[in-house]
Structure 1
Amino acid sequence: MRIEYVEAVLALVRLVPAGSAVSYGDVAELLGTGGPRQVGSVMSHYGSAVPWWRILKASGQAPEGHEAEALRHYLREGTVLTGAYEAYLCTGEGSWRVDLSTSRWAPTDDAFDQIEAIAGELQRRLRTLSVADDGMSA
């Protein structure tokens, strides 16, 4: 995976405010490239230094294997949840998820400007690499 894509995903994730969340597919759509699997791969390999818990499966489920830690973040940030999260806190059992219909991030105009800058820089860097790759194969 190109480091340019990794850096763009992580920059976008840093923009998602506390109490909000987006799906892996949302991130790819906002960047205008890649897909949910690519974003998920970036997050699983490089996402520990950003608010990783705010990036979810489209179902609203927390990143697999990190449910308990993510739940603590959601509760601290006031993220809207649905399901038996109280039981999960007590027993580790119970099904819950982030309510993306309520908690999905709606970027402000300023955030959209930042997203456009991130996506534009990614495209510029990828075009530069593509041209350099083409020049090497000629």
Structure 2
Amino acid sequence: MDEETFERVRAVVASIPPGHVLSYGDVAELAGLKTPRLVGRIMAEDTADLPWYRVLRSNGTVAEHLRHRQLELLRAEGVLADGGKVPMSRYRWRD
């Protein structure tokens, strides 16, 4: 994957404001990618300095292995999950 693609994904994730979320598919669309899987791969490599926790699955669920930490960080910003699922219609960021 090229550096430009990597940086486009990082820029989209960095732009998600506190209290809002996007799905992997939303990030892919905004970054001009064809698949959300590439977003997941990029985020797995380098997002320590980004609000990675604001990116969810399209159904509002979080990464299982990061569940506790991700929901905790979202809660601190006012994003409330119901049964471990964030209501995307309420918290999805619209630019």
Q: TM-score range with shorter-chain normalisation? A: over 0.9
Q: Give structure 1 regions of 4+ aligned residues with deviation exceeding 6 angstroms.
A: none
Opposite residue 100 of structure 1, the aligned amino acid is: M
Opposite residue 31 of structure 2, the aligned amino acid is: L
1:100 is displaced (CA, Å) by 0.6
Q: Deviations over 1:44-70 (max 9, x none)?
A: 111221000001111111123111111
Distance (Å, rounded) in 2 between the aligned partners of 1:48 and 1:100: 23
Distance (Å, rounded) in 1 between the aligned partners of 2:82 and 2:35: 26
**Identity percentage over the alignment?**
38
Opposite residue 70 of structure 1, the aligned amino acid is: Q
The aligned counterpart of 1:65 is 65
Q: TM-score, normalised by structure 2?
A: 0.92
Which structure carries more helix by proportion?
Answer: 1
Q: TM-score, normalised by structure 1?
A: 0.65
The aligned counterpart of 1:48 is 48
Distance (Å, rounded) in 2 between the aligned partners of 1:97 and 1:49: 24
Matches within 5 A, 1:64-83: 64-83=64-83
The aligned counterpart of 2:6 is 6
Would you say 1:33 and 2:33 are equivalent positions? Answer: yes
Report which of the two structures shows the higher radius of gyration computed on alpha carbons: 1
Unaligned runs of 5+ in 2: none
Distance (Å, rounded) in 2 between the aligned partners of 1:65 and 1:34: 26
Opposite residue 98 of structure 1, the aligned amino acid is: V
* Count of matched residue positions in the alignment of Structure 1 and Structure 2: 95
Conserved in 2, the CA contact under 8 Å of 1:19 and 1:80?
A: no
RMSD of the alignment, in Å? 1.1
